[in-house]
Amino acid sequence: MGKVIVVTSGKGGVGKTTSTANLGTALALLGKSVVLVDADVGLRNLDIVMGLESRVVYTSMDVIEKQCELNKALVRDRRVDGLMLLAASQKNNKDDMQPEQMKAICDKLRTTYDFTLVDSPAGIERGFRNASAGADEAIVVTTPDVSAIRDADRIIGLLQNVEIEPINLVINRFSPQLVGNGSMMDQADVLDILNIDLIGVVPEDSGVITSTNRGIPLVYEDGSPGAQAYMRIARRLTGQRIPIPDLEQKGLFSNILNWFTKNR
Amino acid sequence: MNRSLTGATVQIDLKSPTLNDDEIDYLRSTLREDYDLIVRGVELGDDSVSPPIAAAPTTHTISQMTDAPTTRDGEPSRIVPCTIRSGQIEEFPQGSLIIYGDVNSGGEVRAGGDIVVLGTLRGNACAGTNGRLSAVIIAMDLAPLQLQIGNCVNRSTTNEKPPGYPEIARIGPEDVIVIEKFVKF
Ligand SMILES: Nc1ncnc2c1ncn2[C@@H]1O[C@H](COP(=O)(O)OP(=O)(O)O)[C@@H](O)[C@H]1O
Ligand SMILES: [Mg+2]
């Protein structure tokens, strides 16, 4: 029996879709069977980030309306074995779907796939409830700023109310340089407030934007810091114990390196 | 229904025992489905002359209170063994609240008597809602957005980090809230 994990945040634009695409691809690269579910009905974009936009024929709404079988609605990602996408309908809105319907889909996928990752829309309303309805576990994505953290805190409270456990935290767009000069919260500050387990820290990486535009998840680019961070998180999701490297230390080091290269 | 309560966890105080289990289940599911409120617990009272369901919390004005208590004697307390997160409200009008966790910004604690936070108080705290003006707010780290004791309100003015030792807030001589290092009573 696999796991259904909702990727959520409260606030929009913090990296839920980016994280879903990269963690899903990374898990498939590690040999797991994975299905990515876009729960952002009406504002779908996981298919774009995955580069599968042109291959989407059916959506979860067609499955719910019994227009097609669940298996037929899944789009296979041809770049890696065992990776599928269930797209969201673009012409419907969030209220057209019931949490129970999403739960039924997740319950089916759980029996076949090692990991079902559900990309949640922003907010705490129906879209969030649909996305979390079938989840066993959650990944909460936040950026290290006070407004994203407050929304993450709200979401964590709601997830705890429905007994979704564990809830793991991803801190995204972390910038060692900004922490170094005191203009960004550090890891410890974020964890002190949210008080859940940290599963990874993804640095600010300009590669994310180009990979999004090209529809090729960043994890295919082995060398990039963002790709390495997502690969480590994926390994942790499979149960491997991998320490979280201290990006702040590395930041200091690369600051010094930067200083040398600039002043050469 | 206040929209900002959506998704909040609530405690229902029933001042009357006249609801049976089925009725309580119905109340629980209605609150959940129609208002997205999660019912954490239901307290049954035995005072059958009171209204059946406690109304929304009333904010008392101290001056309106004729029988405000002056001591902690007989004041019950409630322990909350978790963090109060953004959007959550913990309320105990009958007495004091002790939080085994943090109160995060966007979260709120309201107590008839004292409030003790064995973590960081970052959100809002309102003590002494029963009119006892000697009510205090104590936190291991006191970094609130807003404190209220009785009618006195204190908004945070600085962005400074708390000093790293427990602090106590109480009503001082000029009817303003003063914050000091906590020393044993
Ligand atoms: N680690 C990162 N470094 C740089 N840009 C990022 C990073 N993570 C996300 N982004 C950018 O932030 C924007 C929002 O990301 P997205 O994943 O769509 O957020 P959400 O799904 O939470 O709304 C996108 O333009 C994306 O490219
Ligand atoms: Mg998104």
- The residue type at A230: Y
Q: How confident is the model at residue B12 (pLDDT cuts 50, 70, 90)?
A: low
Q: Under CATH, to which class is B77-181 assigned?
A: mainly beta
Q: Where are the domains of chain B?
A: 9-44, 77-181
State pLDDT tens for residues A78-112: 999 999 999 999 999 999 999 999 999 999 999 99
- Which residue type occupies A129? R
**How many angstroms separate the CA atoms of A100 and A133, rounded?**
7
Query: How confident is the model over B13-20, as a mean pLDDT?
Result: 58
User: Which pair of tokens denotes residue B124?
Assistant: 């809002």
> Quick one: pLDDT at residue A50?
98
Distance A214 CA to ligand 1 centre (A): 14
Residue A198: in which H helix or E strand, if any? Answer: strand A197-203
**Residue in this structure with the two tokens 């909350």, named with its chain if needed:** B80
For the CA of A18, the nearest atom of ligand 1: 17
Summarize pLDDT for B70-104 with one digit per residue, the tens. Answer: 888 889 999 999 999 999 999 999 999 999 999 99
C-alpha–C-alpha distance, residues A39 and B90, integer Å:
32
CB-based pocket (< 6 A), ligand 1: A 9, 12-18, 172-173, 202, 204-205, 208-209, 212, 226
Confidence (pLDDT) at A249: 52
Nearest to B167 by CA among B95, B100, B117: B117
CA–CA separation, A108 and A37 (whole Å): 12
Full set of structural domains in chain A with CATH: 3-262 (3.40.50.300)
Residue B63: CB atoms within 10 Å: 10
Distance of CA A148 to the CA centre of its chain: 15
Q: What are phi and psi of B155, to 5 degrees?
A: -95, 145
Give the torsion sign (CA, A219, A223, A224, A229): positive
Using left for φ > 0, alpha for ψ between -120 and 50, and beta otherwise, residue A51 falls in: left
Is pLDDT at B142 greater than 80 in this prediction? yes
Q: Which of A208, A232, A247 to mutate to test the pocket of ligand 1 (most atoms within 8 A of CB)?
A: A208
Report the distance separating Cα A124 and Cα A131, nearest Å: 10
* Distance separating alpha carbons of residues B121 and B84, to the nearest angstrom: 9
The three-class DSSP label of residue B124 is: strand
A86 Cα distance to chain centroid: 15
Give the B window 21-60 contacts with A, CB below 8 Å: 36, 38
A interface mutation test: which of B11, B85, B121 has the most A CBs within 10 A? B85
Place of tokens 């796939």: A113
B93 interfacial to chain A (CB closer than 8 Å): no
Averaged pLDDT, B29-51: 56
pLDDT at B34: 65
Give the separation between CA A124 and CA A129, rounded to whole angstroms: 7
Segment holding A187, helix H or strand E: helix A187-194
Below-70 pLDDT ranges, chain A? 248-264
Q: How confident is the model at residue B11 (pLDDT cuts 50, 70, 90)?
A: low
As beta bridge partners, residue A201 has A171
For B152-182, what is each residue's pLDDT tens digit?
998 876 667 899 999 999 999 889 999 999 9
Please compute, for residue B23, the number of CA atoms within 13 A of its CA located in the half-sphere on the CB side.
9
Q: What is this structure's pTM? A: 0.81
pLDDT attached to residue B160? 76
Average pLDDT, chain B: 80
Judged by CB atoms closer than 8 Å, whether chains meet at B86 and A150 is answered as yes
Whose tokens are 């298919």? That residue is: A47
Give residue B27's pLDDT.
72
- Ligand 2 centroid – CA A124 distance (Å): 14
Task: Indicate yes or no: CB of B106 within 8 angstroms of CB of A192.
Answer: no
Q: What percent of chain B has pLDDT over 70?
A: 66
Which of A57, A114, A65 is closest to A87 using CA atoms? A57
Res. B60: pLDDT tops 80: no
Closest chain B CA to residue A146: B105
Return the structure tokens found at A94.
Answer: 């969030």
Residues A141, A167: Cα–Cα separation, whole Å: 10
Nearest of B143, B106, B137 to residue B121 by alpha carbon: B143
pLDDT surpasses 90 at B17: no
Please compute the mean of the pLDDT values over residues B131-135 and round it to a whole number: 95
Task: Enter the ipTM.
Answer: 0.83
Contact B136, B168 (CB under 8 A): yes
E strand spans, chain B: 9-14, 38-44, 77-80, 89-92, 96-99, 108-111, 115-121, 124-127, 137-142, 146-149, 152-155, 167-171, 177-181
The nearest alpha carbon in chain A to B7 belongs to A158
Q: B122 with B144: CB under 8 angstroms?
A: yes
- What pLDDT does residue B49 have? 38
Residue B55's pLDDT band (boundaries 50, 70, 90)? Answer: very low
Q: Which residues in chain B are closer than 8 Å to A162, comparing Cβ atoms?
A: 38
The Å distance, Cα A18 to ligand 1 centre, comes to: 6
